Structure 1
Amino acid sequence: MSSVTGGCPLALVILLLVSMEPTATYVVTLVSECDEFFLDETPPEIPGKLEQKKFMDVRYKLICQKYNIIKKFMTLYDTDKKIPVFSACKYTGLTKLQTPVYSPWVLGTGVVKYFICNQDDDIKGDYNEQDTYHKGHLFPVSHANSEEDLKSTYQLTNSDPQVGTFNQGRWSAMEKFFKKFMDENCTNDKKTVEAFIITGAIEGTDPSTEYLKQAINIPKILWTAFCCKRSKGTFEGTAWDTNIENNGHKILTMTLKDLNQILKVEPFSKNMVFIYYENSVGLMTHFEFRMTCPFIKLSFF
């Protein structure tokens, strides 16, 4: 027989409810309730998960991540695999914030019922007992522009198991590279930095390595994309990589068209039409409607 606590000890539920503030998560039923973190208020198209602003299965929950009741970013969460499908945020510029020595990961009060009773403790134990996997951010600390933004990223619903050398190595380098590029190139008409970023995970399917401690899916691929509009054009950049140990390969930046062809995801509006050509200096350039959009093709670890 079920109970109001979902089978969890009442004391544990009370502990979770009183210990998670000021960070909180709110499950919303409509994309429009938290769409300010998407370019043109349009969420990505993820086949079989989120299509035309509709959820394809009840296991997917749209979470408005908040801190001190202020919206910070949006996450689409898979309650079956217990990892985020993606997190979306609006990047607003250079920050000198440093990661705190210790920032506790929390499970927001709004999603307690979607977790097994002891998962909050189990997750921390699983990651701390061995060094292979880290709790990896989707909305990364490096893209936060305030202390509150930074703390809000430490939601378990914004994390998935990432191989340590991948998380702290080439993926971290990519995040910092995109940050530097956006700081230097994504100034809007108000002369402030503004870009929209979506980072997603594709769940693992190998039965031998699919789950961490039989509970949390280990994604096989992570991907990210940003786009910023300017009066003189639009910049975009994407990247993806496999969630494995460093083996000497590099992450390559690519176009949105490339990302869609490879992973079948549309981070931004499907109505964008791109025409690609290589200019005289060897940089890949494309046009979005009538706006010139330079695409810089670089590689990095």
Structure 2
Amino acid sequence: MLLVLLFFCVGWQTTPGEAEVVKSFEETCPRYFFRKTPPKISLTASYMVPICQRYKNQYRYATLYDQKKRIPIYSAYIYNPGRAKRTDNWMVEPQLVGSGLRPEMISEEDLIQKFHVTKAALEESQAVLQDYKNLIDYNRGHLNPNSHQPDPEAKKSTFTLTNIVPQFTKLNGGAWQTYEQQTMQTKTQGCKETFAVVGAVPGNNYIAGRRVNKPSHVWSTACCYIDNNHLRSWAIIATNDKDQVEELTLGQLEEKLTKLYQQNSVLLFDIDCPRQ
């Protein structure tokens, strides 16, 4: 397959549609990226679909979704935690099925019953709830966690299967959760705005009869804006079979991901964000 560099600053076409499934992050939902600059990762474009995640007629965050492996490669969002309660009402992305469908996430049941989408068409386009039933040692791991969102509707928007990967259960509820809930709170002290990108490296194993890829690694990084003269960054990575995270600089994470994605280079933020 031809490898192309996904800058998303030019309008390459995707077959599903142009609203929530978009031509370019920079054209539709650039605010979720530091300096309005999406990550630069060289991947196979035919399966990579940029989604501006929309819920209740408002964009909430951005996700690059791999339709072949049925997992997100990353979700990018602004860190803004709130105390609203979470609700586990899982949704899917209609426009991954067809461009004529509504440009907003919806439950599987409503998509099938109200919009007459067949179950087979839905399952072909993306992961579904059944894929995550009866897993052993793995569960649904958010890339953009609901705890990093400010209000009930923003939190609900994270419960889409396009924002989920199979994550090692002990990691998801252990060291990864500690990072999400404690480390991020500590590191963002003094930040006026914090841009986060959380991602997954596809692995060699699958769940659900080889429908959904099980990532080999999960990673997270943030770029904190303090003022025009002061920025800081941090990062972690974890193998997806141990309850342990490795703390890194942004530059170190980009070097690791360059090797793991088998690319020439990976840049997760605009060059102004410090790498050390």
Please report the TM-score for the alignment, with normalisation by the length of structure 1: 0.70
Distance 1:200 1:147 in 2: 23
What displacement does 1:225 show?
0.5
Corresponding position of 2:213: 217
Aligned with 2:142 (options 121, 131, 137): 137
* Cα pair 2:221 2:233 within 8 Å, conserved: yes
Residue pairs, 1:38-77, within 5 angstroms: 38-47=33-42, 49=43, 56-77=44-65
What displacement does 1:122 show?
7.5
1:233 aligns with 2:221: no
What displacement does 1:107 show?
0.7
Aligned residue type for 1:57: A
Corresponding position of 1:293: none
| Aligned-partner SS, 2:20 | strand
Distance 1:121 1:38 in 2: 25
Corresponding position of 1:185: 190
Corresponding position of 1:171: 176
Q: CA RMSD in A?
A: 2.4
Corresponding position of 2:203: 204
What displacement does 1:34 show?
1.3
Aligned residue type for 2:86: T
1:117 aligns with 2:121: yes
Deviations 1:19-67 (A, max 9, x none): xxxxxx81000222111100000011112x2xxxxxx512111001011
What displacement does 1:211 show?
4.1
Distance 1:157 1:173 in 2: 23
What displacement does 1:243 show?
0.6
Distance 1:88 1:118 in 2: 24
Corresponding position of 2:102: none
Aligned residue type for 1:257: G
Distance 1:74 1:145 in 2: 16
Aligned residue type for 1:69: N
What displacement does 1:80 show?
0.7
Aligned residue type for 2:248: M
Question: Larger Rg: 1 or 2?
Answer: 1
Residues 96 and 183 (structure 1), Cα distance of their counterparts in 2 relative to 1, 3 Å cut: farther
Corresponding position of 1:105: 90
Please report the TM-score for the alignment, with normalisation by the length of structure 2: 0.76
Distance 2:245 2:127 in 1: 32
* Cα pair 1:212 1:218 within 8 Å, conserved: no
Gaps of 5+ in 1: 1-24, 50-55, 189-193, 275-285, 287-301
* Cα pair 1:76 1:85 within 8 Å, conserved: yes
Gaps of 5+ in 2: 1-18, 100-118, 259-265
* Cα pair 2:25 2:52 within 8 Å, conserved: no
Distance 2:202 2:181 in 1: 24
Corresponding position of 1:95: 82
Distance 2:169 2:250 in 1: 27
1:244 aligns with 2:206: no
Residues 166 and 273 (structure 1), Cα distance of their counterparts in 2 relative to 1, 3 Å cut: closer
Corresponding position of 1:267: 268
Aligned residues between the structures: 229
* Percentage of pairs with the same residue: 28
| Aligned-partner SS, 2:97 | helix
